[in-house]
Amino acid sequence: MHHDDEAGHSADERFAPILGAAVVTMWSRLPQDVQHDLFEAAVLAGHANERDESLREKLALFLHDRHPRTADA
């Protein structure tokens, strides 16, 4: 179910980035299996919008830069 706010933004457009930012903040505190599943879901979602084959590497670097103890995906 999708609801629009007063500005016409869908709940997905508004809340997905907020939840994503929270996941990035909490990444190193998540269990490795959850990290892996989220990472793979992000790669799949990213490839739905772009055809950048280096997306997996870019996402891994993004996470490693913010969380030195991040497990290799």
C-alpha radius of gyration, the chain, whole number: 14
* Mean pLDDT across 32-57: 87
> Given this model, what pLDDT does residue 53 score?
72
* Mean pLDDT across 54-62: 91
Distance CA(4)–CA(30), nearest Å, equals: 31
Residue pair 28/40 in contact (Cβ under 8 Å)? The answer is: no
Q: pLDDT confidence of 47, banded at 50, 70, 90? A: confident
The pLDDT mean for the chain works out to 84
The CB density around residue 59, as the number of other CB atoms within 10 Å, is: 15
Q: Hey, what amino acid is at 59? A: L
What is the reported pTM? 0.72
> Given this model, what pLDDT does residue 73 score?
46
pLDDT in tens, 2-30: 555 666 678 999 999 999 999 999 999 99
DSSP 22-50: HHHHHGGGS-HHHHHHHHHHHHHHHHHH-
